[in-house]
Structure formats: C-alpha cells, structure tokens
Amino acid sequence: MLNKEQTDFLLVNAYNAAVRAGARIIDIYTGDADYGVDLKSDHTPITIADRESHELIKNYLSQTRIPLLSEEGRDLLYEERRNWDLFWMVDPLDGTKEFLKGNGEFTVNIALMCDNEPYIGIIYVPYIRRIYFAQRGVGSYLKTDVRPDGEASFDLTGLWSDSVRLPLRECANEPIRIAVSRSHNTDETFEHVARIKSVHPDAEVIEQGSSYKFCLLAEGAVEVYVRTSNTYEWDTAAGEVILSEAGGVVEPFGGGTGMQYNKTSLHNPYFVCRSKFFR
C-alpha cells in the first residue's frame, strides 16, 4: 500500500502530465498542420495528437519509475505485465473521432492501478479547461478553468486550490438523463435505453463523446450511461475511480460491479454506469 507522501507525489505527477498532454493536443487541434490520420489494427483512427500525447505522458511519468500501459502501447505482452502490482493506465487522447469532428469532446485519461484496481484517476478535458481527479478513499473532485499548459507544474496546494468535491448537485427528483456515446452506439444501446424509458418515460438521452461521460455521471449531470460497443481498459480505468468515489458504480454486463483490469485481453465487456442518484 502506498503511503500519503508517495500518493501525493504520484497524484501531482499524473495531474501535471494530463495538463501538459492536453496542451499539446490543443496546439495540434487548433493548428493548421495535417492531423496525420492513420488507422490502427482495430480500424479506429489515430492522429499525430494521439502519438505526441502518448510520448509526452510516457516521458513525464518516467520520473515515477512505474511502468505504463497505454492505448498507443497496447502491444505489450501479457507475460510482461501480468505481475505488475503498480502501473499507469493511460489513454493519451480519448475521443479521437470527436477530435477529428472538431466538437471538443476529447479527454486525457490517466489512472494509477494498484493491485489491478484504479487507485488514482485523472480525466482532463482541455477544450473546456476542466479536470476531474479522484483517489480511492479520498473522493472525487473537479477543478475548472485549468488552461492547457505545456509547462504545468502544479504542486499539491495548487492542485487542491479551488477544487470542489463531486457530485455537484442533487438530482434524484429530476427527469432521468441517459448518456450514450456520440460515435459508437449500436442497436443494443437503444434497446437498453428503451427499457429505461419504459420505466422513466420522461428520460432524456444525451450524446457525448469520450470518457467525459464518466465525469458527467460523477457531477450528477446525468444518471446513467449505457455502453454496448467496443472499449478497452484505458477507456474506463480513470473514469471508474472518479465515478465510484462520487458514489456511482460501473456494472459490467453479465453481473457484478466494477471492471476487471490487466486481463489477458484488454477489451472490456459491455457495461452500464449509474450515478449516485440512480440505482
């Protein structure tokens, strides 16, 4: 188990890595250069922003001497990572399709995994300058107006200054809001939504890209998120601890609560997330 000094050091490093990576992504997003789009083996797009964010985070977090598993380093063999008890799980640019669409709905996801469970989670939404962070047993927090900064060097005081604990609002008596992906829905997604609406006919459906949906759940801005298309462990690790520390839960299809991490296959099962206010 990490002590407080170690945890504080790692939290600050992850926070600064996310803000620095967000700055590089925004530079590319708002620049005139070509995005350098290629297709990965799973036929999803990858851009120069994905690659440069990955390199920045990997290099910055190397000072922690903790191994890193990233979307852009997905080829790491299970035999190499199976005995890791502490590692970083990173999606350097979650929401690449939203990045390419130009809607600003993309994030940087960094989780510290301890005994294959997310212990620290950071989700930075650079376009709207919001950063969400959580530590297991300490709570989930939001800090606004965190501008993308390639030289970010927050200390612990700066990290906590003006941060607010999640959830932000009590919404148990309002119409249910259901979050779904903007770019990855399936017929099964809408079948599940229809089942919820049969019980809550006034429910609203909100399309949103990237892991920001976890943040909206943690805030109390939506109550449930349905995902019935392909995701990987780095898509959910940071969001899961942010949501759980705000009183919510991730429920994989097939039963149980909470995702399994550092599996032989890094694919996630389909899942439903529920906020503190929808059980």
Give pLDDT tens digits for 147-184: 999 999 999 999 999 999 999 976 655 789 999 999 88
Residues 104, 61 share a domain: yes
Residue 27 confidence class, pLDDT cut points 50, 70, 90: very high
Give yes or no for residue 60 having a pLDDT over 90. yes
pLDDT, residue 73, reads 78
Are 195 and 129 in a shared domain? no
Residue-level pLDDT at 173: 54
pLDDT over 80 at 127, yes or no: yes
Reply yes or no on whether the pLDDT at 40 is more than 90: no
Domain-embedded: residue 229: yes
d(CA 124, CA 79): 31
Quick one: average pLDDT of 81-108?
97
- Residue 254, in any domain of the structure: yes
Higher pLDDT, 87 or 257: 87
Look at residues 115, 140, 165 and tell me which one is the last residue of a structural domain.
Answer: 165
CA nearest to 231, candidates 239, 223, 243: 239
- pTM attached to this predicted model: 0.97
Whether the pLDDT of residue 66 is over 90: the answer is: yes
- Same domain membership, residue 185 and residue 145: no
| Backbone phi and psi for residue 112, each to the nearest 5 degrees, phi listed first | -95, 120
Residues 139 and 191 both lie in one domain = no
pLDDT confidence of residue 54: 97
* Total number of domains constituting the chain: 2
CA-to-CA distance for 24 and 222, rounded, in angstroms? Answer: 30
Return d(Cα 263, Cα 89) in angstroms, integer: 13
Q: Are residues 91 and 132 in the same domain?
A: yes
Q: Which of 212, 200, 209, 201 is nearest to 277 (CA)?
A: 200
Question: Span 100-127, mean pLDDT?
Answer: 98
pLDDT of residue 273: 98
Please say which residue of 120, 139, 165 terminates a domain. 165
DSSP labels, 105-152 = --EEEEEEEETTEEEEEEEEETTTTEEEEEETTTEEEEEE-----TT-
| Same-domain check for residues 40 and 146 | yes
| Shared domain check, 152 and 67 | yes
Quick one: which of 47, 63, 45, 53 has its CA closest to 23? Answer: 53
Mean of pLDDT over the chain: 95
DSSP output for 203-243: -EEEEE-TTHHHHHHHHTS-SEEEE-S--BHHHHHHHHHHH
Asked if residue 38 and residue 155 are part of one domain, the reply reads yes
Better pLDDT: 75 or 31: 31
pLDDT digits (tens, 9 = 90+) for 239-268: 999 999 999 999 999 888 999 999 999 999
Q: Say yes or no: 74 and 205 in one domain.
A: no
pLDDT at site 255: 86
Res 261: pLDDT: 98
Give the separation between CA 182 and CA 205, rounded to whole angstroms. 11
Check residue 254 and give its pLDDT: 85
Q: Which of 1-5, 37-41, 83-87, 206-210 has the lowest mean pLDDT?
A: 37-41
111 in a structural domain:
yes
Average pLDDT over residues 195-211: 95
Are 231 and 152 part of one and the same domain?
A: no
Query: How far, CA to CA in Å, does 66 sit from each of 84, 113, 213?
Result: 9, 10, 28
Q: What is the CATH number of the domain that holds 16?
A: 3.30.540.10
Domain of 236, CATH number, reads: 3.40.190.80
Instruction: Quote the strand ranges of 51-95, DSSP E.
Output: 68-70, 86-94
Range of the domain at 233: 177-274
151 and 217 both lie in a single domain: no
Q: Looking at the structure, tell me whether residues 95 and 23 fall in a common domain.
A: yes
Mean pLDDT value of segment 220-245: 97
Joined together, the tokens standing for residue 205 give 């459906």
Rounded Cα distance, 85 and 183, in Å: 34
Q: Which residue has the higher pLDDT, 14 or 76?
A: 14
